[in-house]
A and B are shown apart, each in its own frame.
Chain A
Amino acid sequence: MLSDIERQRIDELLLHLPTKRAACIEAMKIVQEESGWISDQVLDDLAKYLEMTSAELDSVATFYNLIHRKPVGKHVIRICDSVSCWLMGEELLMDYLCQKLGIEPGQTTHDGMFTLLPIVCLGHCEQAPAMMLDDTIIGNLTPGKIDKILMEAAGTS
């Protein structure tokens, strides 16, 4: 079941859209806020609300990089692995993060705190190497900076 607040936020989107379906991408981002990913149940509920079939909505959900159809950790780390960040040592940073978190890209730490994902160019190439921690982009990364970011994120959740 979608919550009242979720429905209200989706209804606001629908006000300026000619079809319900047009709201589906932003609506998926809204319903994803709760647990970080979209379960089959949530997908079904949302599809019904937007008058789409679940299969139609799933075809859209699985297309977009920022929509998750599998559970993720409390925090999602996305490391940019496109060209400018690669030139500035992204691979070493990814290795460092994997080692530090004890996981491979695509996995979640055992305590459920962090999911580590690669992502394409974040458009912050002048601050390469860069990553996204949840909704925030952080650039000019170094191993030391990553230590600090992980510690702060773990502490505030």
Chain B
Amino acid sequence: MEKVLTKNIVPGNGARGIDDYEKTGGYSAYRKAVCELTPADIVKLVTDSGLKGRGGAGFPTGAKWSLTMPIEKSARPRYFVCNFDEMEPGTFKDRFLVENDPHQLIEGLAIASYACRMDVAFLFIRGEYVQAAKILAKALEEARNKGLIGKNVFGKGWDFEMHIHTSAGRYMCGEETGLLNSLEGGRANPRSKPHYPGTSGVWGKPTVVNNVETLCCVPHIVENGAEWFKSLGKAKDSGTKIYGASGKVNKPGAFELPMGSTLREVIFEQAGGMQQGYSFRAALPGGASTQFMDESLLDVPLEFESMKEIKHFFGTGVAVVLDDKTCPVGMCHNLLAFFARESCGWCTPCREGLPWLRNVLLRLERGLGEPGDIDALLVDQARLLGPNTYCALALGAVQPLLSAIELFRADFEAHIDLKKCPYKQGIG
């Protein structure tokens, strides 16, 4: 199959420098964009390509760009922000792309900034990605020294700047408007919408925020066209996808496959199947904010459209695998503990509701559950499905639990009946 984003990546070789990147055709799409195409041409190309946001929400990228306030009416400067606050539990695909091929992201961000007529671009990097931030800083310096960023790029009168912002660790920074507040030097609380960032974003100026993997697709679309990009997908959505797997599989890692590949391909072919002594029970297909998929869903195309049809979120596409020796109730407790801790506290249902769910799960896991607890979990999580909060953190948080009670109800009941966790690995 055709590899696109990882074509030139040799794991273990470290980050590719600018000379290496240019030797394999790097920055030619950027040159083509600025020298031969208008910004409107590129927006149309990306719209036609069917590219959807790879951060998890799957919003059509071309539509997001089109919805940005036209430059004629706009306050300046205008901002493009790359969301590299990869903090969805189980997800490491963006780090994989950046640590191996940083210029691909810089080129994508530069083209996107040109297409949306942005003056300044920010690379928003989560605080724990110290290594990736160093790699990007070096790559940015290389690109600037070659005149690819700055004044009058390619002699075409195109001026723009690109900067790095390193954050200090908070899941909410990955939420589009929380990220903007963080960039302004505040707490990463979400903003009320509308206005959307395309109208009033960071510092009140028109802003577009895109995920790392989304931006990495852009040079390839400019180079090879919208039809080519569409043809890469196996099912309904376009392009390739960086899938991945973690948990008790033989070869955990990130793998580029056609969009629309299945859990069976990701877990049992790419990740080498389950480790000896463990069998597959279920997987969260795209991080902690997605629902468990059991064996019956192993052949569903993992992409935004097909997952919507079965009422699942696709998420980030990086799977977390639950094996038969691990307690699903314990896993739900771990997931809810994460969300309860990372809730920013801005909206009451999320701030108060998530710790409540976590506490009930902890009680169950410790064998202190009571017969009404499972139904109480269902009632409370229904309140978090929205729309009672500014952002989707709580909505994401209850996805695994929602599906776990459906798929593993017997496990939940066993904790109550036996007054203990029936699995060896429990929590205290």
Contact = CB atoms under 8 A, between A and B. Distances in A.
A86 B129 CA distance: 20
Given A82-B334, A121-B338, A23 B169 contact: no
Contacts of B129: 123
Nearest to B133: A135
Interface residues of A, number: 42
Interface string A52-91: 0000000110011111000000000000011110111101
Contacts of B326: 87
B184 A22 contact: yes
A101 interface: no
B334 A63 contact: no
Contacts of A121: 87-91, 288, 338
Contact of A125 (B90, B130, B131, B322): B90
Contacts of B86: 123
A85 B334 CA distance: 10
Given A83-B320, A123-B86, A125-B320, A65 B170 contact: yes
A107 B183 CA distance: 31
A125 B91 contact: yes
A87 B322 contact: yes
Contacts of A84: 89-90, 246-247, 320
Residue among B87, B168, B244, B337 with max Cβ neighbours from chain A (10 Å): B168
A132 B127 CA distance: 12
Interface string A135-150: 1110000000000000
Interface stretch (B21-29, B152-160, B248-256, B389-397): B248-256
Given A24-B185, A63-B170, A66-B168, A128 B246 contact: yes
B409 interface: no
B188 interface: yes
A66 B128 contact: yes
Contacts, number: 140
B286 to A, nearest CB: 13
Nearest to B339: A120
A124 interface: yes
Contacts of A81: 334, 337
Contacts of A50: 185
A59 B187 contact: yes
Contacts of B91: 121, 123, 125
Contact of A126 (B128, B253, B427): B253
A135 B130 contact: yes
Contacts of A64: 127, 167-170
Contact of A63 (B88, B188, B288, B335): B188
A88 B326 CA distance: 10
Query: Which residue of B344, B425, B427 has the most chain A CB atoms within 10 A of its CB atom?
Result: B425
Interface in B243-291: 244-248, 252-254, 284, 288
Contacts of B171: 120
A124 B91 CA distance: 8
Contacts of B168: 25, 28-29, 64-67
B213 to A, nearest CB: 13
Contact of A120 (B92, B318, B342): B342
Given A60-B185, A65-B170, A83 B288 contact: yes
Interface of A: 16, 18-19, 21-26, 28-29, 50, 59-60, 63-67, 81-84, 86-89, 91, 119-128, 132, 135-137
9 contacts: A24-B185, A25-B168, A64-B127, A83-B331, A87-B248, A89-B425, A120-B87, A121-B288, A125-B92
